[in-house]
Chains A and B, each alone.
Chain A
Amino acid sequence: MDDQPVMLFRDVVKVYPLPAGDVTALDGVSFQVDRGEFISVMGPSGSGKSTLLNLMGCLDMPTSGDISIGGIHINEMSDTELTSLRRDRIGFIFQYFNLFPLLNIIENVTFPLMLKTGKGVDPERGKEVLRAVQLDDKLFTHTPTELSGGQQQRVAVARALINNPDILLCDEPTGNLDSKTGAGIMDLMTDLNRKGTTIIMVTHDPHIAEYSQRTIRIADGRIVS
């Protein structure tokens, strides 16, 4: 299993049928992400970045072509199977942190673990991951709104990591942070990557893309470099 590419796209096409005519968002995209890589995906708006992100995150299905995550082909999967795949193998980090306001920090972080085990909060595991993203212990029982943006994003990273995913999928992770805080988050990501986490990051910020080892550039639904 471990020698399989973490993510493999082969001739992936995504067409959105619209009344005004079909829109081809991705037009034959092929690439491979190996274990331990830190990749950024860049491209102007309307280039197909979001579509690519949705496909990588198993939130959508390609019109044609083949996608596999850790050697598993997702094309024929049911919604339930895809949901389990997202839960167990992919960690999502969003631009707007997207923590659950009704839950405290420990509960937010352990949420995907609770989904996986069907059990209640595992505070020990939660604290372990929160310490790994360098969040102050005092904040563990606070609610997300009581935290700064940078702190919230650290919690989001911890939530993404809790189920030991194959890939961390980040959508403009610093897009809603000032540059200093954003740099802190990027240092954290680099650190996680050095420890073995595979990261795919979608961004339009070249400075942020510099943190990655490799950049996939996309324009008009095709990979240009």
Chain B
Amino acid sequence: MIFWEIAKRNIRVHFLRSALAMLGIVIGVVAIVSMGILGNAMVAMVSETISSVGDSVVVYPYFGSTGMGGGSTANLKITDQQFQQIKRVVAPNVAIPVQSTSERMKIGVGGDDIIASVYGVDPQYIPDLHFELESGSNNNANSGCMVGSTFAKDNNIKVGSRISIGSDGSRGTLRVTGIIKQRGMSFDISTDNAVVVTQSWFENTYDRNDYDNVVVKVKQGQDSAALTSLIEKQMNKRDKVVMAMDSKVVLGAINDMVGQVTTFVVAIGGISMIVAGFSIFNIMMMSVSERIKEIGIMRSIGTQKKEVMSMFVYEAVIIGVIGSAIGGVMSLLGGYVINIYMFNSTNYLFTIPNAISIAEGVTFGIVVCLACGIYPAWKAANMNPIDALRHE
């Protein structure tokens, strides 16, 4: 229709200012969408690393409120008796007692002392922890250990390497039997930068028979939240001795937090969209006031109000659609750059949440343009034709 044509031509005639207004929308869309993509990538990464180990409930000794005069948390352990109780409570789910400490150690001959975490886990439970090995095999000997991939890479450790534990190897030497694949922020045991030894080596070396925490692996189909409250209820009958944490709840909390951060940064991006909206409003008002006489002529020779209005709405929509579409494409590029820089991969780029983010950003851009074009268009349509005709 002719009004569409006029709207197009008016944008072409005022190319520079239309392009600048479009640029505003492009920036607005990019700001919103790339922040959304960033948030989506963070959520995806967090949930992938945490949920890869399956649902677990981790039971810690209760360390109370850490107020004035509070006891040292270092001495709080889960006793073997408590562990047996937990085991009974959570059956048929598997309860894995875990011991941990930090220790000085040395790799090879003449290396520097380094400090890393040491986990003591009974070999029978290793399969339940679902370690994926980069190389080597699970360790079930007291003279062996497994190490995390980051630890292995940083210290140039291969299967068969020897690690001297303690200052000057005072606690003995262990042979590496396997290297555990990167597990990221795993909820149960963070192995990436640690050494995993057998429970009996740990107990003999450190003269301990209590545990730092108990990892309960929740079987498929079991409710981890119910299990968590069951543990707390059964264990804390007389005194509060343990606390249980549900990986799902922690995951949910982390996702919530990431979600809130994402919402916040998207909202900041939204401000640029609002600013862009003002510039659209501005150029539409300009477009109307420059063409008051033209509007008067149109109205006097029989153009209906709604036709005048449509002409200006088209103008805003054209700017909005082109600007938002360019913004959508650019934010995909922006998302690509963010993903490459922050995560070194594009695994989190072509996902449904990102498609939704882009669709939302583009839609928002178009809606903002439309909303900012409506008042000027309405104003144009409702001008008194006589006054408009007389306007110079």
Residues of A participating in the B interface, judged by any CB pair closer than 8 Å: 54, 57, 59-60, 79-80, 83-88, 90, 92, 94, 98, 100-103, 107, 111-112, 114-116, 118, 120-121, 159-160, 163
Contacts and interface: CB of A to CB of B under 8 A. Distances in A.
Contact of A107 (B2, B13, B298, B300): B2
Interface in B358-392: 385-386, 389
Interface of B is mostly: helix
B87 interface: no
Contacts of B297: 94, 98, 100
B6 A103 contact: yes
22 contacts: A59-B299, A59-B300, A59-B385, A83-B303, A84-B304, A86-B301, A87-B303, A92-B300, A98-B293, A101-B294, A102-B10, A103-B2, A103-B5, A103-B6, A107-B2, A112-B301, A114-B2, A115-B302, A115-B304, A121-B2, A159-B301, A163-B302
B302 A79 contact: no
A102 B302 contact: no
A88 B9 contact: no
Interface of B: 1-2, 5-6, 9-10, 13, 293-294, 297-305, 307, 385-386, 389
Q: Count chain B CB atoms within 10 A of each CB in A80, A114, A160 and give the residue with the most.
A: A114
A164 to B, nearest CB: 13
Given A100-B294, A102-B9, A102-B13, A111 B301 contact: yes
Q: Give the most central of B2, B9, B304: most A CB within 10 Å.
A: B2
A115 B307 contact: yes
A57 B389 CA distance: 12
Which among A87, A88, A92, A115 has the greatest number of chain B C-beta atoms within 10 A?
A: A115
A94 B303 CA distance: 16
Contacts of A60: 386
Nearest to B12: A102
B390 to A, nearest CB: 9
Contacts of A121: 2
Contact of A102 (B1, B6, B305): B6
Nearest to A60: B386
A98 B298 CA distance: 9
A54 B301 contact: no
A54 to B, nearest CB: 5
Nearest to B390: A50
Given A60-B386, A100-B6, A100-B294, A92 B301 contact: yes
Nearest to B296: A98
A22 to B, nearest CB: 18
B13 A88 contact: no
A111 B293 contact: no
Given A98-B293, A120-B2, 17 more contacts: A59-B386, A79-B305, A84-B302, A84-B304, A86-B301, A87-B301, A88-B302, A100-B298, A101-B294, A102-B6, A103-B5, A103-B6, A103-B9, A107-B2, A111-B2, A114-B2, A163-B302
B302 A83 contact: yes
A79 B303 CA distance: 11
A120 B2 CA distance: 7
Contacts of A86: 300-302
A177 B385 CA distance: 25
B58 to A, nearest CB: 71
A54 B285 CA distance: 27
Given A54-B386, A103-B6, A115-B307, A120 B1 contact: yes
A92 B389 CA distance: 12
Which 5 A-B residue pairings sit nearest by Cβ, starting from the closest?
A87-B302, A102-B9, A86-B302, A98-B297, A114-B2
Contacts of B9: 102-103
Nearest to A100: B294
Contacts of B6: 100, 102-103
A186 B330 CA distance: 60
Contacts of B13: 102
Nearest to A118: B1
A98 B302 CA distance: 14
Contacts of B301: 86-87, 92, 111-112, 115, 159-160
Contacts of B303: 83, 87, 115
Nearest to B8: A102
Nearest to A53: B386
B387 to A, nearest CB: 10
